[in-house]
Amino acid sequence: MPESDHVVPRLRGLAYGGDYNPEQWPREVQEEDAALMREAGVNLVSLGVFAWALLEPAPGRYEFGWLDEIIDRLHAHGVSVDLATPSAAPPPWFAKAYPHTLPVNRDGVRYGVGGRETACPSSPEYRQATAELARRLAERYRDHPAVVMWHVHNEYGAPLGECYCDTSLRAFRDWLRATYGDLDALNAAWGTNFWSQRYGDWDEIDLPRANHTVVNPAQRLDFARFSSAENLACFTLQRDILHEVAPGLPVTTNFMTTNCKSMDLWRWAPEVDVVANDHYLNAEQPDNHIDLALSADLSRSLGGGRPWLLMEHSTGAVSWQPRNIAKRPGEMRRNSLAHVARGSDAVLFFQWRASRSGAEKFHSAMVPHAGTDSQLWRDVVCLGAELQALAGVRGARVHAEVAVVWDWESYWALELEWRPSVDLRFRDRIDEYYQALWREHATVDFVHPAENLSAYRLVVVPSGYLLGETAAKNLRCYVESGGHLLVSYFSGIVDEHDTVHPGAYPGALREVLGLSVEEFHPLREHETVTLSDGATARIWSERVRPAGATVVAGFASGPDAGHPAITRHDLGRGTAWYVATSVDALRPVVARALDAAGVDRPRGLPDTVEAVRRGGYLFLLNHGDEPVTVPDVAGVDLLDGTRCAGEATVPGGGVRVIATGRP
Ligand code: GAL
């Protein structure tokens, strides 16, 4: 893969702008918008994301004149367009014409109109209407010089990931038939001898609807796979039309990498020309800049390390959290540059101008209700200028020596009902390990467990409950050929049908870890145990029986006192570490594995500082309030033009981007 590449070839520099909804405004405001965009250095807007009702006001009647005028105006002001297909917002006439396309939730409630995302993804009428609209948009705008890329739909699967209507039922049965071929295979995979669920006819199979008890977990997993695939089919249908009619323009859709559990983005990512991501901070979460970093790293990893586009974030408060906290001074800038540090070639916001009407009128924007005589607007203008100074960063790649395994299938399976503990949440484990790695200043890629891992010195599996045979073999080969693997508890337990691997836990990882687990001993809420090295731990304890592994630390209290808690197993040319509980101070555990694996990372920095290399640029972001001096930095700061020779001081809350000249 090239070390640098331009994911939106027709755009120069980094993209700056956001969702633009001019249909909410009169012409005078639209004219002012274009002038203000120029003032702020905006060079890209996403247009028409929710404009179906205006583009097709009645079935088969298309109106593009208003959009022509807007695109021409933007072009005249030097603003390029990421033109959207509006399939995320079917207009009311669509629901009236095809009421059966309104989605049904797991409880059997059919949603009504008045919101957005109001169509079943399996509906042929919906797919046909969206395909037709995509074709017409492509035919009309393919040669417009302002249009540089396509934005299909909006956040597939968030929040509507599944539909339980009759159309979905028929499509699910078809999907199962295509997947399993015959019913014996399905019965075996689903373990239907349990609770008398054996199917004798495809038509007996239902959707995993709400039930007074637990529905077959393998059925639920397949329904999750099916739902992700049905949404993906909606995307590829439109994408193929856009490619056919407007060849050469990249097509994307905005993912929510960390906030949308329902789409298996490892399957989606190869289908987009460039990965785009939306990220919103949880304003009340401490250290939420680490969640931002995680989301950015996952976005980059989905594209195989290529630059990606931050399609949406916010200038300030959002409007859908319990308390919508405004960003502190400097936070928007720091957030934006943190995404760029981790591979984004764009800083785009929802949205350009704050709406006066509708559900999102209290959401921040680039142009707030307060107008341009506001700190927020001045910050927006400054950020635009800074991004221009960073134009050279575009296309550069981030290098990571550590990978964290993230698998949506495992996420889905783990969080079904009746697990050994309700505290076994996927994101909790991922966050614990990611935060420890972040604080150790180790840059991280995310990987699917079956992909080639040879580029990494350390691979971490914080939550790999579901692990198929191919993935398990892959992890073992990785270790045997010299890799370091760090695995947390309740990993390698079931296969892709949620069937426990044969023999003692963790069936898929026993050999590589050199141990087995005789019994789980989940802890009570708030219960803690201590380890032989003095550490405290929560959530989980289990009876580990080494079979080749050596003990690094044992449980000193709790149900497994005197038995191993952390182990190490040298296998072939590599090493596999295992952690059988949730250690409160995870950082030293992670640091030990990083050191053993020889992972290169900055040492001695406070854990409020984020130091990320992107190509020949070193991004230093200070999330603390006090200035921090970072040693061993030489180069020119692209933001203020100063030269650093030997060290760089980053002001509290500040950012420096140093062109070091060495990748
Ligand atoms: C996103 C969505 C936008 C807007 C935004 C508000 O998830 O794509 O259309 O609703 O949230 O934060």
SS3 441: coil
Contact 454, 478 (CB under 8 A): yes
Mutation choice for ligand 1 from 156, 350, 364, CB with most ligand atoms inside 8 A:
350
Residue range 75-94: mean pLDDT, rounded: 98
Tokens (6 digits) for 618:
């070193």
| Average pLDDT value over all residues in the chain | 97
Global pTM reads 0.98
Give the CA count within 13 Å in the CB-facing half-sphere of 278. Answer: 23
Is 561 exposed, middle or buried (CB count within 10 Å of its CB: 0-12, 13-18, 19+)?
middle
Q: What is the DSSP letter of 645?
A: E
Q: Pick the residue whose CA is nearest to atom 4 on ligand 1.
A: 350
CA of 312 to the centre of ligand 1 (A): 8
Q: How confident is the model at residue 405 (pLDDT cuts 50, 70, 90)?
A: very high
- Is the pLDDT at 447 greater than 50, yes or no? yes
Give the CA count within 13 Å in the CB-facing half-sphere of 332. Answer: 30
Q: How confident is the model at residue 662 (pLDDT cuts 50, 70, 90)?
A: confident
Q: What is the DSSP letter of 8?
A: S
Instruction: Report d(CA 163, CA 322) in Å as an integer.
Output: 27
CA of 278 to the centre of ligand 1 (A): 8
What does the pLDDT look like over 411-442, one tens digit per residue? 999 999 999 999 999 999 999 999 999 999 99
So what's the pLDDT on residue 3? 41
What does the pLDDT look like over 335-367, one tens digit per residue? 999 999 999 999 999 999 999 999 999 999 999
For the annotated catalytic residues, the residue numbers are: 155, 312
Contacts of 106 (CB under 8 A, 6+ apart): 162, 164, 208, 209, 210
- Is the pLDDT at 261 greater than 90, yes or no? yes
Percentage of residues in the chain having pLDDT higher than 70:
99
So what's the pLDDT on residue 388? 98
| Ligand 1 atom closest to 318 (CA) | 12
| Ligand 1 atom closest to 314 (CA) | 12
Pocket of ligand 1 (CB under 6 A): 154-155, 278, 280, 312, 318, 350, 360, 363
| Ligand 1 atom closest to 320 (CA) | 12
- Residue in this structure with the two tokens 């006819």, named with its chain if needed: 201
So what's the pLDDT on residue 34? 98
Q: How confident is the model at residue 515 (pLDDT cuts 50, 70, 90)?
A: very high
So what's the pLDDT on residue 218? 98
Q: Pick the residue whose CA is nearest to atom 5 on ligand 1.
A: 350
- Is the pLDDT at 602 greater than 80, yes or no? yes
- Is the pLDDT at 1 greater than 50, yes or no? no
Q: Give the number of other Cβ atoms within 10 Å of residue 515's Cβ.
A: 24
| Ligand 1 atom closest to 280 (CA) | 12
So what's the pLDDT on residue 2? 43
So what's the pLDDT on residue 5? 79
CA of 336 to the centre of ligand 1 (A): 17
Residue type (1 letter), 585: A
CA of 283 to the centre of ligand 1 (A): 15
Mutation choice for ligand 1 from 21, 254, 312, CB with most ligand atoms inside 8 A:
312
Q: Beta strand 574-579 with 458-461: parallel, antiparallel or unpaired? A: unpaired
Among 656, 654, 652, 657, smallest CA distance to 624 is for 652
Contact 499, 218 (CB under 8 A): yes
Q: How confident is the model at residue 661 (pLDDT cuts 50, 70, 90)?
A: confident
Q: How confident is the model at residue 118 (pLDDT cuts 50, 70, 90)?
A: very high
Q: Beta strand 617-622 with 609-614: parallel, antiparallel or unpaired? A: antiparallel
Instruction: Report d(CA 109, CA 527) in Å as an integer.
Output: 40
Q: What are phi and psi of 498, to 5 degrees?
A: 65, 30
Contacts of 183 (CB under 8 A, 6+ apart): 199, 200, 201, 202
CA of 210 to the centre of ligand 1 (A): 28
What does the pLDDT look like over 26-50, one tens digit per residue? 999 999 999 999 999 999 999 999 9
Q: How far is CA 635 from CA 28, 50, 617, in A?
A: 46, 45, 9
Contact 284, 323 (CB under 8 A): yes
- Residue in this structure with the two tokens 């390029």, named with its chain if needed: 80
